[in-house]
Structure 1
Amino acid sequence: MQLNQNRYHIQGVDVLEMAEEFGLPLYVYDADKIIEKIGTLQSAFSGVQLKIKYAAKALTNVSILKLMRSRGIDVEVVSINEIRLALLAGFDPDQIMYTPSGVAFTEIEDALALGVRLNVDSLPLLEWIGQHYGNRKPVGIRINPHIAEGGNVKIQTGHVDSKFGISIEQRNQIRAIVEQYSIPVIGLHIHTGSDFKNADAFLKGAEVLFELASDYPNLQFLDFGSGFKVAYREGDHSTDIVDLGRKVTTAFQNFCQHYGRELELWFEPGKFLVSESGVLLVHVNVVKENPTRTFVGVDSGLNHLIRPMMYDAYHEILNVSNPTGEKQTYSVVGYICETDTLGWDRSLNQVRPGDVLALKNAGAYGFSMSSNYNSRFRPAEVLVYEGKPYLIRRRETFEDLMRNQIEIDFEEEITVKNN
């Protein structure tokens, strides 16, 4: 988003014009920013056989998936419906890495029938694969390295008490099951969490995989997951991708030389690719002055952007209707009957009822974690591509809320009973 003659634009398109055309609240994504992030990763890891697997859960809109595919990006999914979306977007089954967590074996069976690759997350699943498929299904194995790294504790996934992956301390049990059923292990995977500021966390995880790789002579890839930190406010620290690329590439090349052949290096970025591309545009309903603070009530809330309440996440907020107004301090809150503060004590250009605010870094885990709480509709989504806004999801309607509900006519039931 750029400031141009005191108006905010995405690829030259005025966000207020999009608000007028498509209505509010509204998610808007900048395709150029996504493409830029892809290029950053590809450049940083140009010295290895890199495969980027977009973590679809961050933003699952099928048009976003198609954009990724058009740029040579594969996809990582965590559910059967994300598999179906990826196939619908045109991905080949072997481009889809499926990493479930504690799902029913029937879902695994359905996924494998579609031809996707499987990342095994538990010993019971590994045993089940061996019993049902023997040596017919190559798999990756997700390892929990017992490394506590990352930001908010809710997004740390590699510590000893995490539900994700098979504990590195169960190394011998993994190998015993693999050997018992001759399961082809073609990859090892690790993901320790999110919001890593430097390469150290990746290098710690890499050492675990490098050591474990000696158990499996037929590997095709090592998957380091993701967790790259993005900046949420001015001066915020973000992962130095160039430094990360240099250090991890060197370590990986040394490993491959020791292993005896070159493997593929995989990453599974989600937030890194789409977070900065998105803004959530909202309408100011009321400016409410209390003795202790001034609240700005908007037509959105945790039903559209749950990250501030769930992760204490910071999203920069801009008044795009009054960019030159005098700065004042406000707390921006939603319209949900629940505490759903989007931003405490923010210095914003004077806010008036009817203004449009923009919440930045809303591309990842915004719409994908949205809900119909309070029977509210989910917003429309727009993708700006090559300077033109495209509607990629219609706003929900009351008919959408009622589509799967079945009404019981209790008065008729009572009448029948009484007769």
Structure 2
Amino acid sequence: MQGKDLLQLAEQFGNPIYVYDAEKIQSQYNRLTKAFSKVDKLRINYAMKALSNVAILQLLREMGSGLDTVSIQEVLLGLHAGYEPEKIFFTPNGVSLEEIEEVAAMGVQINIDNLSILEQFGTKFPNVPVCIRINPHVMAGGNANISVGHIDSKFGISVHQLPHLVRIVENTKMNIVGIHMHTGSDILDIEVFLYAAEILFDVAKNFKNLEFLDFGSGFKVPYKKDDIETDIEELGKKLSKRFNSFCAEYGKELTLIFEPGKFLVSEAGFFLAKVNVVKQTTSTVFAGIDSGFNHLIRPMFYGSQHHIENISHPKGKERFYSVVGYICETDTFANNRKIAEIKEGDILCFRNAGAYCFSMSSNYNSRYKPAEVLWINGEGHLIRAHETFEDLLRNQIPLPIPAASI
């Protein structure tokens, strides 16, 4: 997409606004499938927690993707978007046995990550196909908040608990059809990922009726010029060869599954916001925009860096700015960032705004959530309207008696 296209969409639909480029999502999906083209049975399950708009789910469904879900509400959204139950994986953490049972009754593939729930579920439903999530105790993610395969992680069944796990399966006669791992996001070193994969292969040898192995995802995408990213092509070459040889050893052709979220949608997303005020203090020039961490929390939450452009005047002389929001506490998108000269009324564009941006938005300070637009075939299509005051009041119930009588 070009800056002029984004400016047109901001004018057409208002701001702040999220824009998603369908062509970029398609190219990322194709890149991943091409990297693993040597594997006969490959399945991509989009991790919809990254961006759960129904239109995006429908777009990925048309590409052939399945879904990775983490809540019963995500499962329901997937079904609403037209996915068949067997194309949906349910990989929750810390949910009740009742929620797992309810999802399993829908025909969705469940993935269980703790011994207690595994034993309870297997005792009640020994014939229901179950996947097991293993914690390989490998720190592959690039951020402590999003690395989930280390020894202190709440996710997965420890690989060191394998004897207990096998005993539960044998006692309950459970139908184990898959083994899963997810080491975390922003994977830089594919050798660490391959090391974790070997642990998964070793665990898989203990189960004789597997249908698939799920390697999670967490592939890093570039956030700035010359930024490093996961070498998908090299990973595809090495892991495909090893996976095929494991299938030969196992005596059965298994399906290789990935569950990418950020990799598919991050670079496809753009967040547009208008500059309300340019404020100079004794040491800083602030560009205050009509948004805040209620719309894009990742810089404050993770310390993530989103490239910011002034698309109203992209050729202007560059100056240093701190870009801040309108939330009534520290609300900073970028500190001391070099951006083309900013004037009040300019539109700033935040790159890599497709993953974990709108999906983590809120109504903090009673602000409205922004609209979402899908750019497809050279046109913008509104896929979520701007919220209104009526949306803030929805589901709120006024006091049944006059406040003065309390």
Please give the TM-score of this superposition, normalised by the length of structure 2.
Answer: 0.98
Question: Which position in structure 2 is the counterpart of 1:288?
Answer: 279
Question: Which position in structure 2 is the counterpart of 1:16?
Answer: 7
Matched, 1:190 2:185: no
Report how far residue 198 of structure 1 moved: 3.3
Change (3 A) 1:406 1:257: same
Instruction: Determine which of 256, 261, 283 is the counterpart of 1:265.
Output: 256
Structure 1 gap ranges (5+): 3-7
Matched, 1:52 2:44: yes
Amino acid at match of 1:53: N
Question: Which position in structure 1 is the counterpart of 2:393?
Answer: 402
Report how far residue 209 of structure 1 moved: 1.0
Report how far residue 412 of structure 1 moved: 6.1
Matches within 5 A, 1:20-419: 20-48=11-39, 49-134=41-126, 136-408=127-399, 411=402, 414=405
Amino acid at match of 1:189: H
Amino acid at match of 1:84: L
Amino acid at match of 1:114: M
Distance 1:269 1:107 in 2: 24
8 Å contact kept, 2:57–2:81: yes
Amino acid at match of 1:261: K
Distance 1:299 1:128 in 2: 50
8 Å contact kept, 2:325–2:331: yes
Report how far residue 276 of structure 1 moved: 0.2
Distance 1:115 1:255 in 2: 29
Report how far residue 205 of structure 1 moved: 1.4
Report how far residue 293 of structure 1 moved: 0.7
Structure 2 gap ranges (5+): none
Number of residue pairs aligned between Structure 1 and Structure 2: 405
RMSD of Structure 2 on Structure 1 (CA): 1.1
Name which of structure 1's ranges 145-154 and 32-41 shifts more when overlaid on structure 2. Answer: 145-154
Report how far residue 171 of structure 1 moved: 0.2
Q: Secondary structure at the match of 1:276?
A: coil
Distance 2:105 2:327 in 1: 42
Identity fraction in percent? 53
- Cα deviation 1:314-334 (Å, max 9, x = unaligned): 000000001111111000001
- Cα deviation 1:301-348 (Å, max 9, x = unaligned): 110111101111000000000111111100000100121111111111
Report how far residue 148 of structure 1 moved: 1.3
8 Å contact kept, 2:97–2:121: no
Please give the TM-score of this superposition, normalised by the length of structure 1.
Answer: 0.95
Distance 2:354 2:37 in 1: 26
Amino acid at match of 1:264: T
Amino acid at match of 2:393: M
Report how far residue 413 of structure 1 moved: 6.3
Amino acid at match of 2:222: A
Report how far residue 411 of structure 1 moved: 3.2
Q: Secondary structure at the match of 2:132?
A: strand
Name which of structure 1's ranges 107-116 and 360-369 shifts more when overlaid on structure 2. Answer: 107-116
Report how far residue 112 of structure 1 moved: 1.1
Amino acid at match of 1:64: I
8 Å contact kept, 1:149–1:192: yes
- Cα deviation 1:6-45 (Å, max 9, x = unaligned): xx14xxxx11111111110000000000000000001000
Q: Secondary structure at the match of 1:219?
A: coil
8 Å contact kept, 1:197–1:237: yes
Distance 1:401 1:201 in 2: 46
Q: Secondary structure at the match of 1:234?
A: coil
Amino acid at match of 2:43: K
Report how far residue 410 of structure 1 moved: 5.1
Report how far residue 393 of structure 1 moved: 0.3
Distance 2:244 2:190 in 1: 16
Report how far residue 213 of structure 1 moved: 1.1
- Cα deviation 1:257-310 (Å, max 9, x = unaligned): 111121110000000000000000001000000111100000111101111011
Distance 1:326 1:409 in 2: 59
Question: Which position in structure 2 is the counterpart of 1:5?
Answer: none
Name which of structure 1's ranges 195-204 and 287-296 shifts more when overlaid on structure 2. Answer: 195-204
Q: Secondary structure at the match of 1:295?
A: strand
Distance 2:35 2:189 in 1: 14
Distance 1:219 1:131 in 2: 20
Distance 2:380 2:221 in 1: 25
Report how far residue 85 of structure 1 moved: 0.5
8 Å contact kept, 1:229–1:238: yes
Amino acid at match of 2:216: G
Report how far residue 201 of structure 1 moved: 2.4
Distance 1:105 1:410 in 2: 39
Distance 1:265 1:72 in 2: 15
Distance 1:195 1:17 in 2: 33
